[in-house]
């Protein structure tokens, strides 16, 4: 019998939803035979407060599987997430925004009020209007990952997540077994040539081209970290590799850490500093160390920098 499933998106760019669609042909039997989708704003018109707005409380139908994407950064996200937790037996956080705050949690590195004012008084189409305070959900004090607000049963990171593993999570839940997912680091799935030591003592900026022979296989390219680039493969969870090569490395671009830390609760910033040192690279040569948390700024990892107040000299 098909398993009732509800999907929801919170602070999402919809890339995770595109990743679900990118399951491709295998998605058809999933949505026609395996799953009975009872709620999915992406696919169907289902109102939160009754079809004609007659309801007084936010309601999502009961489901066995719940899948949420996106971070939690306003009151609406929070209420929708709490309702999903109440109505779904198993709740899956899908994508790095849902599991670690993702790109939106970069905002945690600044004062929230200043950030909102910055957005609505500069890049807004009506800069004079300021920060809206009616008809939009009020922002929370910072950007949260889903598991900071409700119990999450399963996490599948990635920005976006790998469609192959989204399908594996769905099928495993429907079959009542544990999913078979990667558990190691991006480096463990990378075939770049490693010699155990860096070739430079300072981090190179990516405006300098990496060294590789055009057309030659990845096995013949020296590891990008050993070349001196900030490749976060050692501190990032595996899962993006296709045909045996991690996504960015196949394009000869350093890993930026989008699948989050290898272990739950891991800190990519600290681990990366250790990775640089063990390759003989001076960690102080990293221009903006906090940018290493660009995908994982929730869970209190990224906080506003205290302002240095210049003392006036008389
Ligand atoms: S994890 Fe990436 S793809 Fe998914 S919603 Fe966040 S930014 Fe978009
Ligand atoms: S550091 Fe980067 S290039 Fe080197 S093995 Fe790891 S993922 Fe591959
Ligand atoms: S190589 Fe790193 S940044 Fe690129 S897709 Fe994989 S995990 Fe994400």
pLDDT digits (tens, 9 = 90+) for 153-174: 999 999 999 999 999 999 999 9
Residue nearest to atom 4 of ligand 2 (CA): 223
Please tell me the distance from the alpha carbon of residue 97 to that of residue 298, in angstroms, as a whole number: 9
What is the spatial distance between Cα 44 and Cα 293, in angstroms, rounded to a whole number? 35
- Distance from residue 280's CA to the centre of ligand 3 (Å): 23
Q: For 138, which DSSP code?
A: P
Tens digits of per-residue pLDDT, 62-96?
A: 999 999 999 999 999 999 999 999 999 999 999 99
> Rounded distance, CA 219 to CA 189, Å?
12
Whether the per-residue pLDDT at 207 is higher than 60: the answer is yes
Three-state DSSP class for 22? coil
Q: Give the separation between CA 221 and CA 212, rounded to whole angstroms.
A: 5
Average pLDDT value for residue range 265-290: 92
Q: Is the pLDDT of residue 311 over 70?
A: no
Q: How many alpha carbons lie under 13 Å from residue 140 in its C-beta half-sphere? A: 21
Which phi-psi region, left, alpha or beta, contains residue 105 (left: φ > 0; alpha: ψ -120 to 50)?
alpha
Nearest alpha carbon to residue 217 among 243, 240, 237: 243
Confidence of residue 148 (pLDDT cuts 50, 70, 90): very high
pLDDT of 313 reads 53
Q: What is the 108 CA–ligand 1 centroid distance (Å)? A: 17
* 303 contacts 109 by C-beta, under 8 angstroms: yes
Whether residue 309 is predicted with pLDDT greater than 60 in this model: the reply is no
Residues having CB closer than 6 A to ligand 2 are: 186-187, 190, 192, 194, 223-225, 231, 233-234, 246, 249, 255
For the CA of 226, the nearest atom of ligand 2: 4
Residue 198: its pLDDT value, please?
Answer: 83
Could you give the domains of the chain? 3-175 (3.40.50.700), 183-301 (no CATH)
**Which tens digit of pLDDT belongs to each residue from 237-260?**
999 998 779 999 999 999 999 999
State the distance from the centre of ligand 1 to the C-alpha of 295, rounded, in angstroms: 10
> What are the C-alpha distances in Å from 216 to residues 186, 219, 221, 228?
21, 8, 8, 20
For the stretch 107-121, pLDDT in tens is: 999 998 888 888 888
β-strand 88-94 against 139-144: which pairing, if any? unpaired
Mean pLDDT of the chain: 92
């Amino acid at each position: 019998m098909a398993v009732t499933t509800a999907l929801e998106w919170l602070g999402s760019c919809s890339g995770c939803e595109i990743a679900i669609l990118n399951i491709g042909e295998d998605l058809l039997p999933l949505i026609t035979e395996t799953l009975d989708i009872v709620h999915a704003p992406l696919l169907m018109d289902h109102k939160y407060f009754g079809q004609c707005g007659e309801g007084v409380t936010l309601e999502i139908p009961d489901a066995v599987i719940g899948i949420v994407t996106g971070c939690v950064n306003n009151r609406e996200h929070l209420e929708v997430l709490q309702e999903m937790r109440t109505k779904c037996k198993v709740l899956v956080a899908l994508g790095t925004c849902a599991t670690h705050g993702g790109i939106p949690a970069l905002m945690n590195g600044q004062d929230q009020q200043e950030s909102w004012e910055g957005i609505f008084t500069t890049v807004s189409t009506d800069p004079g209007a300021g920060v809206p305070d009616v008809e939009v959900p009020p922002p929370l004090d910072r950007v949260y990952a889903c598991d900071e607000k409700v119990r999450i049963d399963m996490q599948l990171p990635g920005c976006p997540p790998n469609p192959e593993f989204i399908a594996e999570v769905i099928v495993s839940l429907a079959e009542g077994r544990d999913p078979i997912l990667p558990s190691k680091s991006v480096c463990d799935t990378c075939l770049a040539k490693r010699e155990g030591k860096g070739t430079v003592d300072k981090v190179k900026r990516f405006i300098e081209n990496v060294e590789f022979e055009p057309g030659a296989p990845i096995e013949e390219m020296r590891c990008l970290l050993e070349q001196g680039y900030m490749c976060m493969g050692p501190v990032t969870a595996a899962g993006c590799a296709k045909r045996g090569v991690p996504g960015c490395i196949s394009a000869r671009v350093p890993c930026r850490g989008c699948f989050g830390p290898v272990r739950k609760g891991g800190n990519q910033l600290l681990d990366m500093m250790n990775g640089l040192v063990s390759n003989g690279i001076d960690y102080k040569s990293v221009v903006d160390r906090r940018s290493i948390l660009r995908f994982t700024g929730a869970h209190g990892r990224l906080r506003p920098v205290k302002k240095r107040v210049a003392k006036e000299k008389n």
